[in-house]
Amino acid sequence: MFGIDLSGQPEIVVQVAGYIEAGWELAASWLLSPAAWSQFGLLVVAYFAALMVTRKLRPLLVRVLDPGDSTHLLATPRRFVMGFLPLLLPLMAYVFTGIGESIVRSLFDSGAVIAFGKRVFLFLAVRALVRDIITDSFLKLIGKYVFLPIAGLYALGMLDVAQTQLSAMTVQLGNISFSVMALVRGLIAGALLFWLGRWSNEQSTNFISKQEEMRPSIRQLAVKSVEFIIFGVAFLLLMNIMGINLSALAVLGGAIGVGLGFGLQKIASNFISGVILLVEGQATVGDYVELDGGEAGTIVRMTARAAILETFDGRWIVVPNEDFITTRVVNYSDSGSANRYEAPFSVSYDTDINIVPDIINAAVAAHPDVLNEPYPADCELVGFGDSGIDFTVEFWVNGIDDGQHKYKSQVLFIVWNALKDNGIQIPYPHRVVEFKGAMPKIET
C-alpha cells in the first residue's frame, strides 16, 4: 500500500493496512463520482432541514413536556421524556437522511455515501445520549467504553467484520466452550442486566418499605426475597444470552455444595438464621437489643449474614445472625413495648416523708414522655440511709434511656425542682469526729 512493503509484518498489521487502503480507494472513488457529490449535497440538505425543524419543534416540546414544579402523576414521566430532547437534532437528521437515501438509491442504484452519513448521525445520537442524557455513573462508564466504540465501528462499516473476527475466536474452560464474541456480549448484557436488577431492587425496596401495615420483619423478608429473585433471574438471562448450557454448571454446583458442607457451613448457618429472624420477627431494624455477650445497640441493618448494631457512642458492631438464635437476646423495643426505669434520690431526716410520694408522682407524671400505662409514676420509700431517707421513683416510657433521650436525667431534674419548690432539702453526708484525750495543740 502506497509503495510500503509489509512482508514479514504481523497478520493484524497487514489486515489493518488492507482496511486503510480499501477506505482510501473508497474515498477517492467518492471524490470523483457525481453520484457521490449529489449524496454529499443531500446530506447537507438533510442536516440543515433537521436543524430548522429542531429549532421550531424543540420550544413546542419544552412547553408541552415541562411540568414545572408540579407533582401530579404525569410530572415524573414528562420530566423523563424531556431529558431526551438533546437527541432531537441527530435523530431528525437520521430520519431525513434515510428519506434521502431511498431517493438516491432509486435514481442512481447506489447510496454508499448517504448511508455512511446516516450512520454518522446515529453515532452522534449515541454520543449525545452518553454525554448529555445518561446521569448514572455506571451507565455513563458503559456508554463511554462500550456503546460509543460499537457505534463508531457501525459508522465506519466495520461492525460486521469485528463480529466475525470475535466469533471465530473461542475460549475453553473445562467442558465449557464459548466464543470471545459471546464473552463480550455477556459482559455488556451482564452490566446492563445487573444495573437494571439494582435499579429494580431499589424501586421494590422503596415500595415495600412504604407498606406500613406490614410488620417490619415481614418487610425485611420481602425485600430480601425480591432481591434474590431479581438477581437470580438476571443470572439465568445472562447465561442464556452467553449461550452457556446450565447443565454444564452441574460440576460447579456440586463443588459449591461440598464447600457449603465444610468451609461455608457458618455462612450457611448465618443465612438460615437470618431468614428465621425475619420470619419470626424476634428482632428487626430499629430495635434496641442486648446480647448475652454484652453487645448492645440499635439494629440499623440486617444482611444475609449478620445484623449491624449501632451503639450510643456511634460505633457499629457486626453480630452474626446465628447469635440471635443460639444465645439469649434482650429486646427493649419489641412490638413497641414500654420500658421501666428508676430515678433514686434522698431527702433530709427533717422532712415529713408522708408528703414526698404525692409531690414526686405529680411532678414526674407531667413529663410528656412518661406513661400512665401499664403503670403511672410511682415514688417508693426504699430505706433509711446514713445521711438521709432514700426514695426511688419508677416510671415507664416508650423508649431507651440513652442516646437521643435521657429520661432518667430529665426525671432527676424534675425531682430536684419539685423538692426545692416544696422546701424539702436533699441531704449531704454528716460526719462526727471524736478525739480521745486532750485536744491537740495547734502551734501558731
The amino acid sitting at 75 is A
Which of 304, 307, 265, 305 has the alpha carbon at shortest distance from 282?
A: 307
The amino acid at 149: P
One digit per residue, pLDDT tens: the chain, 444 residues? 444 555 555 555 555 555 565 555 555 555 555 566 667 777 788 888 888 888 888 888 888 887 777 767 677 777 778 888 888 888 888 888 888 777 766 766 666 777 777 888 888 888 888 888 888 777 788 888 888 888 888 887 777 777 777 777 777 666 666 677 777 777 777 777 777 777 777 777 777 777 777 666 667 667 777 777 777 777 777 777 666 666 655 555 665 666 556 656 677 777 777 777 777 767 777 778 888 777 788 888 877 778 888 887 778 888 888 887 777 888 776 545 678 888 999 998 888 889 999 999 999 999 988 888 888 999 999 999 888 899 999 999 887 776 566 888 889 999 999 999 998 888 877 777 777 766 666 665
Give the residue ranges of DSSP H helices in 174-215.
180-209
- Side by side, the strands of the sheet bearing 306-310 are 316-320, 306-310, 296-302, 288-291, 329-331
Residue 348, helix vs strand vs coil: coil
Residue 416: the pLDDT is: 93
Output the CA angle 214-219-223, nearest 5 degrees. Answer: 150
3-state secondary structure (DSSP) of residue 174: coil
C-alpha 280/C-alpha 214 separation (Å) is: 13
Q: Long-range contacts of range 371-375, CB-CB < 8 Å, 24 or more positions apart?
A: 371/338, 371/395, 371/396, 371/397, 371/398, 373/338, 374/338, 375/340
Q: What is the pLDDT at residue 418?
A: 92
Cα atoms in the 13 Å half-sphere on the side-chain side of 150: 14
Q: Which of 377, 356, 357 is nearest to 367 (CA)?
A: 377
pLDDT at res. 391: 93
> What is d(CA 97, CA 101) in angstroms, rounded to the nearest whole number?
6
Residue 296, SS3? strand
Question: By three-state DSSP, how is residue 4 classified?
Answer: coil
Neighbour tally for 436: CB within 10 Å? 4
The pLDDT, as a whole number, for residue 165 is: 74
| Contact between residue 87 and residue 133 where contact means Cβ atoms under 8 Å apart | yes
What pLDDT is attached to residue 364? Answer: 92
What is the distance between the alpha carbons of residues 293 and 282, in angstroms, rounded to a whole number? 18
